[in-house]
Amino acid sequence: MKTFGAEFLGTLWLVLGGCGSAVLAAAFPGVGIGLHGVSLAFGLTVLTMAFGIGHISGCHLNPAVSIGLWAGGRFPGRKLLPYIIAQVLGGLAGAGILYVIAGGAPGFDASKGFASNGYGAHSPGGYSLLAAFVTEVVMTLFFLIVILGATDKRAPAGFAPIPIGLSLTLIHLVSIPVTNTSVNPARSTGVALFAGGWAVDQLWLFWVAPIIGAVLGAVAYRFVGCTKE
């Protein structure tokens, strides 16, 4: 239960810190942090939690990552469902806290987006469904390669949170204009359920594409990175 609790708290922090930066600070008059700041915020949530709870639960914070680690032979299948449930609940809790905070400002309307992921008319840059799908698959694929490589027993010990956090920052720098960046079904679900409407209708993509990308990333790393004992 401690590992599941750690995943719950870690995913809560990721959604509150990452999506919170987008909702509360990205366009704040005069000092808005913009795309660069939001990208860094998401990377920092993973980096800080990896140091904080990595030794407890592995700090997955993401159903796609858990599935990818299972596909890569690094995580037992019997723990998949409890981890995913803890992550989704943590994402909902983080989104709920953010909803309460954001609702304290006049004119707040979660239905306008609430940092939700989307494609077509709901993509920040108007990108198509195909572009969104390819983006989410490829970005998650490389995220898994970085995670598996950084946590490989042959990699320098103790440094894994740094490349993992930086890779998530890079992913956001590339893909915020396309989908508002998911690569994480729990992150997408948390805010989408509060935004409602189109965000829920398009949520399927941000489960399917990251999971496909994670499995492909695990397969790719097993091909290039695994050696015979």
171-207: pLDDT as tens digits: 999 999 999 999 999 999 999 999 999 999 999 999 9
Per-residue pLDDT, 1: 84
Predicted confidence band at 25 (pLDDT cuts at 50, 70, 90)?
very high
Q: What is the torsion angle, in degrees rounded to the nearest 10, for the CA atoms of residue 195, residue 23, residue 34 and residue 132?
A: -20
In angstroms, the CA 123 to CA 136 distance is 13
> Is residue 226 scored above 80 in pLDDT?
no
By the 8 A CB rule, do 200 and 192 touch?
yes
By the 8 A CB rule, do 202 and 123 touch?
no
By the 8 A CB rule, do 175 and 209 touch?
no
> Is residue 66 scored above 60 in pLDDT?
yes
In angstroms, the CA 134 to CA 165 distance is 22
Tens digits of residue pLDDT in 132-149: 999 999 999 999 999 999
Q: Buried b / exposed e across 189-218, counting CB within 10 Å, b at 16+?
A: bbbbbbbeebbeebbebbbebbbbbbbbbb
By the 8 A CB rule, do 61 and 214 touch?
no
Quick one: DSSP state of residue 183?
Answer: S
In angstroms, the CA 20 to CA 182 distance is 14
DSSP code string of 88-141 = HHHHHHHHHHHHHHHTTSTT--GGG-TT----GGGSTT---HHHHHHHHHHHHH
In angstroms, the CA 94 to CA 8 distance is 9
Predicted confidence band at 227 (pLDDT cuts at 50, 70, 90)?
low
Per-residue pLDDT, 225: 76
Q: How many domains does the chain have?
A: 1
Predicted confidence band at 228 (pLDDT cuts at 50, 70, 90)?
low
Predicted confidence band at 33 (pLDDT cuts at 50, 70, 90)?
very high
Range of the domain at 100: 2-225
34 is written with which tokens? Answer: 């913009």
The domain that holds 186 is classified in CATH as 1.20.1080.10
CA distances from 47 to 14, 94, 151, 191 (A): 10, 17, 13, 21
Which amino acid would we find at residue 84?
I
In angstroms, the CA 136 to CA 62 distance is 14
Best CA proximity match to 136, nearest among 62, 82, 76 = 62
Predicted confidence band at 20 (pLDDT cuts at 50, 70, 90)?
very high
The pLDDT of 17-46, averaged and rounded, is 95
- The model's pTM: 0.94
